[in-house]
């Protein structure tokens, strides 16, 4: 494309330089505010890189504080049962660089954390994240390299936390309906949805 902005120099023809405050807000450690945000957060997304060069983003959720801050630079979270694709975990074993984006419902600022990760089954960490007698499959430990709060503009534009903006039930197909269409199966959507619901109840942890 002739109008592609292919490097930073081209991008800076369109965008101004960031202010010193924007550059300096990234810290190589977890301060009291970022620690508290993580302690309260029930949800984050983690970005990693595939070996073929494509990026990948995965959602992670749990009870508030399911991510544990281990010290001033390290945090850890459990890997619970999923679909066994192991996209993020495999990516980490090949390229440990990751980016995390934490959300706190009702708060319009977000917390960004960039660092390096490893996947472990170290016994003390496995025990630490045991939930109702169920151990995680593994634990991901991340050493933070950059930590900073992201401004609220994206969430303000989306009005994400506004309950009046929630899509009404039936406003989007269920996963069973989607699977039926995509895989052209004759299994009724409600049967697929029931099976998925049962799996979520039995294998949440």
Torsion of CA 103, 104, 106, 108, to 10 degrees: -50
* 3 has a pLDDT exceeding 90: no
- Mean pLDDT for the chain overall: 95
Model confidence band, residue 97 (pLDDT cutoffs 50, 70, 90): very high
Mean pLDDT of 183-195: 95
Mean pLDDT of 138-149: 98
**Which residues share a beta bridge with 115?**
98, 144
CB 103 within 8 A of CB 41: yes
> In the 8-state DSSP scheme, what is residue 151?
P
Model confidence band, residue 1 (pLDDT cutoffs 50, 70, 90): low
Show me where the domains of the chain are located.
18-158, 167-202
What pLDDT digit, counting tens, does each position of 113-125 carry?
999 999 999 999 9
Torsion of CA 194, 196, 197, 203, to 10 degrees: 140
Both tokens of 108, joined, read 């319009």
pLDDT > 70 fraction of the chain, expressed in percent and rounded: 99
What pLDDT digit, counting tens, does each position of 39-87 carry?
999 999 999 999 899 999 999 999 999 999 999 999 999 999 989 999 9
**pLDDT for res 195:** 95
Mean pLDDT of 139-155: 97
User: Regarding the domain delimited by 18-158, which CATH topology (the fold level of the hierarchy) does it fall under?
Assistant: Pnp Oxidase; Chain A (2.30.110)
What pLDDT digit, counting tens, does each position of 163-177 carry?
999 999 999 999 999
Alpha-carbon distance of 29 to 16, in angstroms, equals 28
Model confidence band, residue 14 (pLDDT cutoffs 50, 70, 90): very high
State how far Cα 174 lies from the chain centre. 22
Model pTM score: 0.94
């Amino acid at each position: 494309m002739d109008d592609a902005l292919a490097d930073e120099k081209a991008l800076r023809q369109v965008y101004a330089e960031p202010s010193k405050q924007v550059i300096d807000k990234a810290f190589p450690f977890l301060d009291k505010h970022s620690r508290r945000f993580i302690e309260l957060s029930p949800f984050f997304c983690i970005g990693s890189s595939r070996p073929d060069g494509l990026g990948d983003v995965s959602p992670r959720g749990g009870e508030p504080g399911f991510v544990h801050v281990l010290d001033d630079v390290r945090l850890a979270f459990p890997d619970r049962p999923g679909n066994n694709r192991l996209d993020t975990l495999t990516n980490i074993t090949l390229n440990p660089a990751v980016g995390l984006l934490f959300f706190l419902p009702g708060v319009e600022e977000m917390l960004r954390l960039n660092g390096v990760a490893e996947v472990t089954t170290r016994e003390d960490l496995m025990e630490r994240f045991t939930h109702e007698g169920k151990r995680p499959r593994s634990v991901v430990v991340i050493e933070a390299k950059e930590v900073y709060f992201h401004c609220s503009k994206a969430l303000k534009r989306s009005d994400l936390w506004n309950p009046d903006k929630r899509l009404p039930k039936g406003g989007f197909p269920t996963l069973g309906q989607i699977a039926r269409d995509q895989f052209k199966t004759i299994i009724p959507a409600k049967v697929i949805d029931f099976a998925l619901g049962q799996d979520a109840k039995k294998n949440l942890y």
